[in-house]
Structure 1
Amino acid sequence: MKYLKRLMLSAVLLSTLTIHAQDSREVIDNIIKEANENSQLEVLAYELLDVIGPRLVGTPQMKVAHDWAITKYSGWGIPARNEKWGEWRGWERGITHIDMVSPRVESLNGTQLAWNPSTGSKGITAEVIIIPTLKDEADFQNWLPKVKGKIVMISMMQPTGRPDYNWEKFATEASFEKMKNDRDSMTSEWNKNIARTGYNSRSISEALENAGAAGIVTSYWSRGFGANKIFSSRTKKIPTIELELEDYGMLYRLAQYGSQPKIKVVAESKELGVVPTFNTIAEIKGTEKPEEYVILSAHLDSWDGAQGATDNGTGTMVMMEAMRILKKMYPNPKRTILVGHWGSEEQGLNGSRAFVEDHPEIVANVQALFNQDNGTGRVKDISGAGFLHSYEYLTRWLHEVPREITSEIETEFPGSPSSGGSDNASFVAAGAPAFNLSSLSWDYGTYTWHTNRDTYDKIVFDDVRSNVILTAILAYMASEDPNTTSRERIILPMSRRTGEQQTWPSQRSPTRKGGID
């Protein structure tokens, strides 16, 4: 009789497991079908990138993006909210127009740097000068009065606007090597000359401003055709503009040869006082374990030299589309599936650090977090982030992802904990199993990361769609897993640099008042 009962129980369990496996396969198949046949990625990209545009923290566009995300989630039946975590210097970019007016007239390609004061609609017109070769700090101080009323160029003129891969393809080996040697020599001498001023590349702008300069011109070339890094200004009262390499080089040569070039700069930005900063949070409530969380993670903010398409418009779109599909195909998850669209990642992971600090009860119950940030490419690397048993559950979840996606992915277990770089690091530091879905490059570091070329046209939608499928299935598997993920950490190795035992990254507080004097 006992044997018969055991046999019947085994049959029931086997039947239950079979039904669950069938249900699981159906959900996964539906996720894949929805992603491929009813994708909303192009619409999301249009609305976020073309209509809203860049999303610099403290700007009206950032708040518009947060509100837009809430509207989208509400339309999908997913409750969402904006959580205030701090305040920032409010600023809005206006029209930037830069024209050379002497020795001839030509409009130049460039922009005002972030958080720089307005020139007003009339702008400023002044001669452009370069920093001469100096003997020492005293020589610089003797020259410094000459900057009064002038616009000063403070970046090295690049010897070539062709990226190295273009030289490697077309130049002779000797010519390529000569160019690189000449560039290295020029760079070394430029850095030494800046050091002889008594300042560095960051602090020299303030010295020039205090000496009465009318403006600053920079050119932070990103080593790609037409690509420049666009960050923030270091001047408080005078305009700082970033010029693309080709125009910067022309102005530099004109000044170098004594042609006394003049430019007119109109930069109509606006100061908006102190404004609140937010994270946008949306969630599909769990039915069996609602106090345990699977988190999808992507920062919503960007620098504002372009649209912020691949940093991090694509990551934002992946998480939004994954949530839409999960709500449609998996509306009653076992665990709560929460998505965080973080603010001010670019200034130091501030939004996610604030969330971790403000919600220890959520962080303590994270089943897994999946973060996507670095570009438009398909995911190619997943690390176990230093969690000793990450191999056991991540590989099991990945097994359910289509082979054509996982065949492209390299895994590293147990890996090592991230101490920065993107928002997963904020959660890892607090001990939560948080994993970065690292993408194929597509020359991200050169052409789109923080550049004036990070635009809609750089998106590879097939790769982004693949990442949606991956993310949605991982979230589903993590939610359904009968086991709670282990948080046991590896013992970190000795540092080769210091010879000391490495330690787990420590949790850091965010900057909650940014750019406010």
Structure 2
Amino acid sequence: MGTRLLFLVTAALANGVALAQTDVPAQLRVEETRASQLMPILHHLTDIYGPRLTGSPQLRQAQEWAAQQMRSWGLKNVELQPWEFGRPGWHNRLTEISVTAPFQAPVLARALPWTPSTNGLIVADAVILMPPGMPAAGRAPRRTADSIQAAKGGVAEPPMPKMNASPPLPTRAELLAYLESQKEKVRGAIVLVGPPAAPEPDFIPQPMRRTDAEWMALINAPPGIAPGSSTRPTVEDGRLTRDEINATIAEFLVKNGALARVKDGGERRGLIRVESTNGYGATPQVPGVTIANSDYGRIARVLQGGTRVEVRMNVQNELHPDGSTAYNVVADLPGTDKSDEIVMIGAHIDGWATASGAADDAVGAAVMMEAMRLLKTSGLKPRRTIRIALWGGEEQGVYGSQAYVARHFGSFEHPKPGFAKLSGYINLDHGTGRPRAATYFGPQSGAAIVAQKMASFRDWGFMGANTASFRPVSDSAAFYLAGLPSIGLYQDPFDYLSRLHHTNFDTYEEVYEPDVRIAAVEVAALAFALANDDKMLPRFDANDIPSRDPAAGPRARIRPPENHGEP
């Protein structure tokens, strides 16, 4: 905002002059500049209540705090709405690991969610299993022509042997035969599973911001499965998937008396990315941890060289049976003449247990809360009710939002009365960068409306909107599956996927305050504009809504896989 405009708007507010509804974006900018509460909200969700794993006491406390905050702002119908998670909650109380022989060194580690505790402090030999076809852990860096050239450094190919192709994943018979040969080895041992990864440097790291041209290319992309969309990897007939390999090994370790399992973090510079655990407590497990690649590699090399390694480990976890009932937090800014119609905004408030879950997605929850506070504090009166939802269970499979949609809206094929009353849903779940574009699930005319409503934020880098050309992930998927209009906000990367997503680096310090404050203003302005339109957002009708039949191909309206990675 220009200095002159900021002065004029601030002076008008100071003198009690009400701004016209057409000046709402300017009014919201001023209120966010004057009295932002976004970072204090984020502080509570991360520093006080993080991590916030679904079903855990920390998540429940964060939800209750958020609800109380929104009541204090004067929002209405604030409640925690239950849904059935069907699994106990879990949280980690203590994780201490070190190598005591043949060298002495602490080990950087995170406990695996829904695994049990060690029997107090244990000291035992480490062993390593090398199942046939077991893939190394970690994520490969982006390989582009430019990055490959940068890796060469402008010289000819170095005199290195060609890398062998990755062996095929094992069949069940191959894996069981190998494990049978290792039964005595694992009894009473701390077990490393799989070869140590050799993560490659990323010679051209992804920039913090994409260029305007890159965003325009995304906006103008034709329909189809876009980069970053969730697709399941293909597996040859008769061979096990990664999940099946892990489940088989987990059962083997329990049955044969292993004391603990150690997984390789598989990434550079101490980054540990912890996500799902088979069964979320339903499948028996030994105590488990993921450790930094540098620690895993050192231990593995010593073991493979024939030297005994002794490890000292104390991991204390706790299950919470009452966590099988989980919650979403909802609150309303009531509308006026169209109060029975709804515009929803939302983000998931749960996260993985690796760190305090700031970029994924406490920051999204904080942005949505701040957007509601801005609307309420500014005295704006929307025609439609604006409803916030802070979802639980997103990380396990967008469970909370799917439960809410099923309860309140139904689906295109089986609508409930509320189905016709939702204008649209706005979601934020891509980290700490400012919104630069939006995708819209619905007709192209809906994307044009979103772009028009956001045009006043061109000075902040918002480029436009398109129709969703891929299967949404995050909580947009719940609305997409139901056939309801949904808007996903795309943000500048800011190391989200490469460094923060589900990792031990996802902390308050990684959030870029100027961008997330921009996001709060933009969400508030978009929600208010949609709430005040004469008509609701356009939606697909029976002639053009994507089919629920997977055979319909890339545009089939089917559920994304669990354990997703957001684009």
Indicate the TM-score class for this superposition, using the shorter chain for normalisation. Answer: 0.7 to 0.9
Could you tell me whether the CA contact under 8 Å between 1:374 and 1:444 is conserved in 2?
yes
Aligned with 1:329 (options 374, 378, 381): 378
Partner letter of residue 45 of structure 2?
Answer: L
Q: Distance in 2 between matches of 1:290 and 1:129?
A: 64
In structure 2, the partner of 1:376 is 432
Given that residues 299 and 312 in structure 1 are in contact (C-alpha distance below 8 angstroms), is that contact kept between their aligned partners in structure 2? yes
Q: Matched residues in 1 for 2:445 and 2:244: separation?
A: 49
Task: In structure 2, give the amino acid aligned to 1:78.
Answer: L
- Which residue does the alignment assign to 2:124? 126
The higher radius of gyration belongs to: 1
Q: 1:92-107 alignment to 2 at 5 Å?
A: 92-107=91-106
TM-superposed CA distance for 1:163, in Å, is: 4.2
- The offset of 1:404, in angstroms, is 1.3
Q: Deviations over 1:247-300 (max 9, x none)?
A: 111111111112211111111111222332100001011111111011011011
Matched, 1:422 2:474: yes
CA deviation digits over 1:90-140, x for unaligned, max 9? Answer: 2221111111111132221102111111224x3222111112576955354
Is the Cα contact below 8 Å between 1:430 and 1:507 reproduced in 2? no
Say whether the 8 Å CA contact 2:424–2:537 is kept in structure 1: yes
- The partner residue of 1:411 within 449, 465, 471 is 465
- State the Cα deviation string for residues 353-398 of structure 1 (Å, max 9, x = none): 0000111243431112110011111112212224242134213212
2:127 matched to 1:82? no
Alpha-carbon distance change, 29 to 500 in structure 1, aligned in 2, over 3 angstroms: closer
The SS at the match of 2:93 is coil
1:262 alignment counterpart: 310
Distance in 1 between residues matched to 2:553 and 2:295, nearest whole Å: 50
Structure 1, 328-337 or 468-477: larger mean CA deviation: 328-337
* C-alpha spacing 1:101/1:22, structure 2 compared with 1 (3 Å): closer
Structure 2 distance, partners of 1:198, 1:471, is 38
Query: Given that residues 179 and 252 in structure 2 are in contact (C-alpha distance below 8 angstroms), is that contact kept between their aligned partners in structure 1?
Result: no
Q: Is the 8 A contact 1:218 1:241 kept in 2?
A: yes
Inter-CA distance 479–220: structure 2 relative to 1 (3 Å threshold): same
Alignment of 1:339-358 (within 5 A): 339-358=388-407
Which residue in 1 is equivalent to 2:496? 444
1:188-240 Cα shifts (integer Å, max 9, x gaps): xxx9xx9799972443222222122121100133x443212112444735211
Residue 70 of structure 2 is aligned to residue 73 of structure 1? yes
- Structure 2, unaligned stretches of length 5 or more? 1-17, 134-173, 206-235, 410-416, 563-567
Aligned 8 A contact 1:314 1:459 in 2: yes
Pair 1:247 & 2:292 matched: no
| Structure 2 contact 440–488 (Cα < 8 Å) conserved | no
How far apart are 1:147 and its partner, in Å? 1.2
Measured after TM superposition, the shift of residue 430 of structure 1 is 1.7
* TM-score, structure 1 normalization: 0.81
Instruction: Give the direction of change, closer, same or farther, for the CA distance of 1:262–1:39 in structure 2 (3 Å limit).
Output: same
Structure-1 separation of matches of 2:344 and 2:497 = 27
Distance of 2:38 and 2:519 partners within structure 1 = 11
SS at match of 2:418: helix
CA distances 1:159-208 after superposition (whole Å, capped 9, x unpaired): 35744548xxxxxxxxxxxxxxxxxxxxxxxx9xx979997244322222
Decide whether aligned partners of structure 1 residues 198 and 473 sit closer, same or farther in structure 2, where only a CA change above 3 A counts: closer
Over 3 Å counting, the alpha-carbon distance change for 1:198 and 1:425 in structure 2 is closer
For residue 474 of structure 2, what is the amino acid of its counterpart? S
The letter for the 1-side match of 2:245 is N
1:390 is aligned with what amino acid?
Answer: G
CA distance in 2, matches of 1:197, 1:146: 23
Tell me if the contact between 2:118 and 2:260 (Cα under 8 Å) persists in the aligned partners: no
**Contact 1:387/1:415, CA 8 A, preserved across alignment:** no
CA distance in 2, matches of 1:336, 1:356: 17
- The verdict on how the C-alpha distance between 1:236 and 1:467 changes in structure 2, with shifts beyond 3 A counting, is same
CA distance in 2, matches of 1:340, 1:499: 33
Tell me which amino acid in the other structure corresponds to 1:398: M
Distance of aligned partners of 1:295 and 1:152 in 2 relative to their CA distance in 1, 3 Å threshold: same
Report the CA distance shift for 1:73/1:154 in structure 2 as closer, same or farther (over 3 A). Answer: same
Q: Which amino acid aligns with 1:463?
A: D
C-alpha contact (below 8 Å) 1:356/1:427 kept by paired residues: yes
Contact 1:149 1:213 in 2 (8 A): yes
Asked whether the 8 Å contact 2:448–2:465 carries over to 1, the reply is no
How far does the alpha carbon of each residue in 1:33-69 deviate from its partner, in whole angstroms, 9 at most, with x for none?
A: 0112211122112111111111001110010011010
- Cα distance, 1:501–1:210 mapped onto 2, change above 3 Å: closer
Q: Distance in 2 between matches of 1:104 and 1:74?
A: 56
Question: 1:455 deviation in Å?
Answer: 0.7
Distance 1:140 1:92 in 2: 30
Query: Taking every aligned residue pair, what percent have the same amino acid on both sides?
Result: 29
Q: Is 1:299 aligned to 2:296, yes or no?
A: no
Q: Using the alignment, how far apart are the partners of 2:511 and 2:527 within structure 1?
A: 24
What is the distance in 1 between the residues matched to 2:178 and 2:63? 51
Query: Is the 1:163–1:224 contact (alpha carbons within 8 Å) kept by the matching residues of 2?
Result: no
Measured on the aligned residues, the alpha-carbon RMSD in Å equals 2.9
Which residue in 2 is equivalent to 1:204? 249
Q: Deviations over 1:314-349 (max 9, x none)?
A: 111110000000011144211100000011001111
* Residue 452 of structure 2 corresponds to residue 453 of structure 1: no
Q: SS where residue 182 of structure 2 aligns?
A: helix
Q: Are the equivalent residues in 2 in contact too, given 1:45–1:456 (CA < 8 A)?
A: yes
**3-state DSSP of counterpart to 1:322:** helix
- 2:368 aligned partner: 319
SS in 2 for 1:236: coil
The alignment partner of 1:375 has SS state of coil
Per the alignment, in what secondary structure is the counterpart of residue 390 of structure 1?
helix
- Map 1:33-182; keep pairs closer than 5 Å: 33-79=30-76, 80-87=78-85, 88-120=87-119, 122-132=120-130, 138-160=177-199, 162-165=201-204
Q: Which amino acid aligns with 1:89?
A: P
Aligned to 2:148: none
Residues 270/505 of structure 1: CA separation in 2 closer, same or farther (3 Å cut): same
Q: Which residue of 2 aligns with 1:366?
A: 422
SS at match of 2:20: helix
